[in-house]
Structure 1
Amino acid sequence: MRLKEIELRLAAIKKDVEERGAQLTAEELAKYEKEVKDLQEERTAIIQQQEQRTSLLAAIAAGEVTDANGNPTAPTVLRSIKPADGSGAEQRTAVNKYETMEYRKAFMEYVTRGVTIPKEYRQDAVSQTTDVGAVIPTNVLNQIITKLESVGNILAKVTRTAYKGGVTIPKSTVKPVATWTTQGKGSDKQKQDTSGTVTFAYHKLRCTVAVSLEVDTMAITAFENLLINNIVEAMTKALEQAIISGTGVGQPKGITAETADAGQTVETAKPAYADLIAAEGNLPVAYEKGAEWCMSKKTYMNYYGLTDSNGQPIGRINYGLAGKPEYTLLGRPVNVCDYLPSFANAENNSIVGFLFNFKDYVLNTNYAMGVKKYEDNDTDDMVTKGIMLADGKVVDTGSYVPLKKVQAV
């Protein structure tokens, strides 16, 4: 053991100095002095490492691992690692236990066969905010987050945050204005109006994960890809539905649930070219940039079929480099979706489309996901569900110009 070697060497140096005394030359004393200093520093470093390992083991046992600032870190386990070239002794290092292959295999067994997650990988059930049976492995969760941020047409455009639930944050209601001044004179200071606030709550989003016993013989990577695709598809649809038309009760508050600023709502009994002109006119100049249309595909086709005074269609469907349709109305992008009713099927006084800058919508979630497996007592089926916490709200209604269907007079 290195500590023992250091102590023996220090004792030998001490004995030599005591026995030889004045016979030692200045050069020998300087050499001993440097060696003693180096050995003492090495001994201190080893002792500190031992104390850190002891503290880490105690924290892991208690499930309370924190960083240098006292903030919780990912749960860890110690793993022995041998140098690649075969030289030197094994070193033990802390790794995220949800990244290990052992946990990934245990997670697969839990989802496909209902095998209980080993005790060392389970958290204290009392501390959970959701009824999560198993935490999704870190590498799988990272892929889910990446896909969620890229595949959803609507989801990819909103602002995403990770505020703690229950925290109230201010929202700006006006934009500052620059003014011209003459030489030597200043301008009036403008205070940013943050009188409005928005508070995010905890809303539990659950989706059934369609993974059956047919995947029993799958390789673990194939299983994880299947799980990722299923969760992403379900979560994306649910989140986008809430962003567009969520009620705000037990789910995020959608854009159409907001009240538009005075004078910005367009009422129409029948799709007409004048609707689009009125909407463009109601959109404040300050919010021109980034505002896009959102409506069902059927509603869009109603407007696409309209023509201007010269008989030219007012809508355009272009095909980009990827070969996907790109919809526009009067040059402004249109997001076609299934989250709004078509004009023909919409009830009176309902929103059938709107202009909006999706950056003015904030989706708040920490992407903390887990899964739970249970038996449906009505059907005797084994159901696997994914769970996450999320909330969302419009933080600036300035770009919101709704298209409301009304009865013809």
Structure 2
Amino acid sequence: MRLKEIEARLAQIRNELNTRAAELTAEEITALETEVTDLQEERTQIVEQAERRNKLLARIAAGEPIDDGVEGEGTTPTVLRNFKGAAGEGDDGDKYGSMEYRKAFMRYVCRGAAIPTEYRADAVSSTTDVGATIPTTVLNQIVQKLESTGMILALVTRTAYKGGVAIPVSTVKPTATWVAEGKGSDKQKFTAAKDGMITFAYHKLRCAVAVSLEVDTMAISAFEAMLINNIVEAMTKALEQAIISGDGNGKPKGILNETPAEGQKLTSLKPAYADLIAAEAALPQAYENGAVWCMSKNTFMQYYGLTDSNGQPIGRVNYGIAGKPERFLLGRQVVCCDYVPTYSTGVAENTAFAFLFNFKDYVLNTNYAMGVKKYEDNDTDDKVTKGIMLADGKVVDKNSLVTICMGKAM
């Protein structure tokens, strides 16, 4: 698929810039800039074409007449269908999406001019819990609140083991020995630790959104494009919250509910340069590759504001190919998320507000991929869209976990 090829090439360019930035010449950088611009434009066109195709398929499924470009007997000319009088309907039979109504709405907002009677007299506009009198094209843009999700889920290890199966985890590694010529070495038995068994259970995650028949008849166009995306986003947020702080009861067990290895739970009364030094010292060298910081953006900015003896900030924020910020503390990447408590004087004692961890050491087991289903509730006439998945998750190796917790005030 072309879209996947574009994403793969952009990722390749990003990696090349991160690893060979100092070696690239001005001509090579210019060529990469041109290629990235072309790829992004092509990606935008592909996405827009897919959206137009989906909308057209939805209209066909709904039984709406599709203009084939031939205006003969029994058909309404395209111009008249799209731009009827003020009392007529606009695109897709939605008069609240017509240009006439959009202009009337602008005059109402900007100058206080009354909405024409033919729009206010319609019974459906009396329902107050939906912005039906807002032009549909505007409502499509303001219907959802932006939330930050998807940073954690892509980092963890994904598996599909059958629920209830115990997976052994060994804490013993074989060792190699130097031997003389013609000599052998002792055989070493590879055994699992006594308590080194991990068992994944079945935890059901469900998200259902109901749209009443009344709302469906007047404002469904504002929701249908975002409904499934919102369900997926809600389930992603629930999974990520469980990965970070889940208690393991009816949900995955989170990273912060694991007990760090000895000497890897640190305390601090406030963000300080010494915290970062102590955490790096506590992280075993064998686990430092792949380990990243995880904290809220607010906490990161408090560390970012710290300076060294020369007055230079210890934090760094770079911007990648897509313009997204990439944060670092002492050269180690920082993943900011909203699921870790933000440091403040009100944080409870022993509450972790930052931690080091290699997210590959967390396994999210999903035996049933996320599915989306639509159905109609016969009792209420609501149209329901629901998403369901079975998931469990655990830290399989906690040696890369170093936490910084709120210390006890003196």
Bucket of the pairwise TM-score, normalised by the shorter protein: 0.5 to 0.7
Contact 2:294/2:356 (<8 A) preserved:
yes
Equivalent position of 2:162 in the other structure: 164
Match of 1:394 in 2: 395
What is the Cα deviation at residue 286 of structure 1? Answer: 1.1
CA distance in 2, matches of 1:380, 1:404: 51
Flag the 1:257–1:310 CA change in 2: closer, same or farther, 3 A: same
Aligned match of 1:207: 207
Q: Deviations over 1:86-130 (max 9, x none)?
A: xxxxxxxxxxxxxxxxxx99xx99xxxxxxxxxxxxxxxxxxxxx
Q: What residue number does 1:306 align with?
A: 306
* Aligned equivalents of 1:376, 1:319: Cα separation in 2: 51
1:122 matched residue in structure 2 = none
State whether residues 294 and 334 of structure 1, in contact with CA within 8 Å, keep that contact through their aligned partners in structure 2.
yes
Q: 2: CA distance between counterparts of 1:244 and 1:400?
A: 12
Q: After TM superposition, list the pairs within 5 Å mapping 1:359-370 onto structure 2.
A: 359-366=360-367, 367=369, 369-370=371-372
Do structure 1's residue 237 and structure 2's residue 206 form an aligned pair?
A: no
- Where 2:399 maps in the other structure, the secondary structure is helix
Residues 219 and 383 of structure 1, relative CA distance in 2, 3 Å threshold: closer
Identity %: 65
1:281-323: CA deviations, max 9, x gaps? 1101111111111111111111111112222211111101110
Distance verdict in 2 for CA 1:174–1:338, change over 3 Å: farther
Question: Does the 8 Å CA contact 2:245/2:253 hold for their aligned counterparts?
Answer: yes
TM-score, scaled to structure 1? 0.57
Aligned 1:8-407 pairs, distance under 5 A: 152-195=150-193, 196-209=196-209, 226-344=226-344, 345-366=346-367, 367=369, 369-371=371-373, 384-407=385-408
Note the C-alpha offset of 1:257. 0.6
Shift in alpha-carbon separation, 1:156–1:310, aligned structure 2, 3 A? same
CA distance in 1, matches of 2:169, 2:217: 50
Judge conservation of contact 1:356–1:399 (CA < 8 Å) in 2.
yes
Shift of 1:232: 2.0
Q: 1:401 to 1:325 in 2, by over 3 A?
A: same
CA apart distance, 1:181: 4.4
Per-residue deviation, 1:385: 3.1
Residues 374 and 383, structure 2, Cα contact 8 Å, conserved in 1: no
How far residue 218 of structure 1 moved from its aligned partner, in angstroms, is 11
Distance in 1, Cα, partners of 2:217 & 2:178: 71
**Post-superposition shift, 1:236?**
1.0
Cα distance in 1, alignment partners of residues 331 and 314 from structure 2:
9
TM-aligned CA deviation for residue 235 of structure 1:
1.4
**1:353-386 Cα distance to aligned partner (Å, 9 max, x none):** 1111111101011215354758799x99765432
Using the TM superposition, give the Cα deviation of residue 241 of structure 1 relative to its aligned residue in structure 2, in angstroms: 0.6
Report if the CA contact (8 A) 1:172-1:396 is conserved.
no
Deviations 1:322-368 (A, max 9, x none): 10000111111111000011011522111111111111101011215
Confirm or deny: 8 A CA contact 1:371 1:386 kept in the other structure. Answer: yes
Letter in 2 for 1:333: Q
Distance in 1 separating the partners of 2:152 and 2:271: 24
Aligned to 1:42: none
Q: Indicate the RMSD between aligned Cα atoms, in angstroms.
A: 3.4
Q: Which has the larger radius of gyration?
A: 1
- C-alpha separation in 2, matches of 1:404 and 1:261: 14
Structure 2's unaligned 5+ residue stretches are 1-56, 63-148
Deviation of the 1:184 alpha carbon? 3.8
Change (3 A) 1:331 1:192: farther
Q: Residues of 1 paired with 2:315 and 2:169: CA distance?
A: 35
**CA gap 1:384/1:370 in 2 versus in 1, 3 angstroms:** closer
Q: For residue 233 of structure 1, give the secondary structure of its aligned residue in structure 2.
A: helix
TM-score by length of 2: 0.57
Aligned to 2:45: none
- The answer on whether the counterparts of 2:364 and 2:392 sit within 8 Å (CA) in structure 1 is yes
Instruction: Describe the SS at the equivalent of 1:205.
Output: strand
The DSSP-based 3-state class of the residue aligned with 1:359 is helix
Residues in 1 aligned to 2:258 and 2:239: alpha-carbon distance in whole angstroms: 17
Q: What's the CA shift for 1:159?
A: 0.8
Q: In structure 2, what is the Cα distance between the partners aligned to 1:181 and 1:219?
A: 76
CA shift for structure 1 position 254: 0.3
C-alpha deviation, 1:212, in angstroms: 6.5
Tell which deviates more after alignment, 344-353 or 181-190.
Answer: 181-190
Q: Deviations over 1:225-270 (max 9, x none)?
A: 6454223211111111110000100100000010111111111111
Is contact 1:209–1:230 with CA below 8 Å preserved after alignment? no
- Is the Cα–Cα contact under 8 Å of residues 372 and 386 in structure 1 kept in the other structure? no
CA distance in 1: counterparts of 2:181 and 2:219, whole angstroms = 75
Query: 1:407/1:181 Cα in 2 relative to 1: closer, same or farther (>3 Å)?
Result: same
Q: Distance in 2 between the 1:321 and 1:188 partners?
A: 53
Q: State the Cα deviation string for residues 171-191 of structure 1 (Å, max 9, x = none).
A: 232444445545444444444
Mapped to 1, the partners of 2:183 and 2:209 lie a distance apart of 65
Quote the offset at 1:397 in angstroms: 0.6
Give structure 1 stretches of 5+ with no counterpart.
1-103, 110-150
**Alignment check: 8 A CA contact 2:371 2:387 kept:** yes
Question: One-letter code of the match for 1:201?
Answer: A
Paired residue type of 1:400: L
